[in-house]
Amino acid sequence: MKIGILGSRGSWHVEALVKALEERGILTDRFPITRLVARISDEPRVRVWEHILEGYDAIIVRSIPSGSLEQIIFRVDVLHRLENLGVRVVNSARTIERTVDKYYTSALLEDAGIPTPRTVVMERFDEAMEAFEELGDAVVKPLFGSEGRGMVRVCDEDAAYRLFRALELGRYIFYLQEFIPHANWDIRAFVIGGKVTAAMVRRAEGWKTNVAKGASVEPLELSEELRELSLRASAVLEAEYAGVDILKAEDDGYYVTEVNGIPGWKGLQRTTEVDIAGRIVEHVVGLSGASSP
């Protein structure tokens, strides 16, 4: 059995997966998704350097770095091609398409009846200002992005005007989400194969609760309500493994703010004795229908 990892060499998460694979006697290679070469009516159909990807039993996607629209589309197209060639891709190209785009994620959650914050998305400056006036206190997010990068809270009309003019010049989409007071903490539930593997509370000094931004972490035993909410959200995005972010409003009620299809677990690993990388590998090995040597 042979499994490839699309991610950066030296990445904590990539190396954790490599270690888990090697401990189980499974051959593995890691390579950057930015070096994909694809061929039509010729072979090899998909390769990175000397590695022919169509020869792998499974590919674990650990990174789709920022790039132009063409670059992003090409990378995901190649994942679709690998699936068509019979290679297991985790998470699937379909799931990555759904989770990498915040609007797509939020729309699917709402359509499935899962509570998610009020959100307005548009292209024009004047409509963005109207949306801000409607929301009053909003978090402006990049459509694509993670770890809290590029997120700005706006509760002043002049600040909104300046920010939106800058976004307009860059031809960005305006993605405004209602700010929900949450006492500077939220919940991350980690789902693998339709089960919650671990969960934690993230606490911060400000409203951003990302571990990458310095939030502290502590273990959490989910209630049945939150466990069910996490599983439903993951299933809607058809994720084989996912990080589900849940926010509790100060005036009561829970909201799913994000479902991450390429989730990190470095902070979460500090709160649990469960080997999360090992659980991911065991799930992938089982789905690939082969046992390790």
Q: Could you tell me what percent of the chain has a pLDDT over 70?
A: 96
Rounded CA-CA distance 98/216 in Å is 29
Res 292: pLDDT: 36
Residues forming CATH 3.30.470.20 domain(s) in the chain: 101-115+182-273
81 within 8 A of 226, measured Cβ to Cβ: no
68 within 8 A of 109, measured Cβ to Cβ: no
Q: CA quadruple 93, 98, 99, 101: dihedral positive or negative?
A: positive
Task: Look up the pTM and report it.
Answer: 0.90
Residue 263 has pLDDT above 50, yes or no: yes
Rounded CA-CA distance 113/111 in Å is 5
Arithmetic mean of pLDDT over the chain: 91
Residues forming CATH 3.30.1490.20 domain(s) in the chain: 119-178
Q: What is the pLDDT of residues 133-172, one digit of tens each?
A: 999 999 998 887 655 567 899 999 999 999 999 999 989 9
225 within 8 A of 246, measured Cβ to Cβ: no
Res 9: pLDDT: 82
pLDDT confidence tier of residue 293, bands split at 50, 70 and 90:
very low
pLDDT confidence tier of residue 204, bands split at 50, 70 and 90:
confident
pLDDT confidence tier of residue 69, bands split at 50, 70 and 90:
confident
Name the architecture of domain 119-178: 2-Layer Sandwich (3.30)
pLDDT confidence tier of residue 41, bands split at 50, 70 and 90:
very high
Q: What is the pLDDT of residues 212-237, one digit of tens each?
A: 777 899 999 999 999 999 999 999 99
Task: For the chain, give the number of residues.
Answer: 293
Res 149: pLDDT: 66
Residue 274 has pLDDT above 70, yes or no: yes
Least confident segment among 145-154, 165-174, 201-210, 246-255: 145-154
The Cα diameter of the chain in Å comes to: 63
Rounded CA-CA distance 219/269 in Å is 10
Residue 252 has pLDDT above 80, yes or no: no
**CATH superfamily ID and name for 101-115+182-273:** ATP-grasp fold, B domain (3.30.470.20)
Mean pLDDT across 267-274:
95
Residues forming CATH 3.40.50.20 domain(s) in the chain: 2-94
Give the sheet arrangement for strand 36-38, strand by strand: 36-38, 46-48, 51-52
Residues pairing with 187 in the sheet: 201, 246
Q: What is the pLDDT of residues 71-109, one digit of tens each?
A: 999 999 999 999 999 999 999 999 999 998 899 999 999
Chain Cα centroid distance, residue 97:
10
CATH of 2-94, one of 3.40.50.10490, 3.40.50.620, 2.60.40.420, 3.40.50.20: 3.40.50.20
Residue 141 or 290, more confident: 141
Res 147: pLDDT: 55
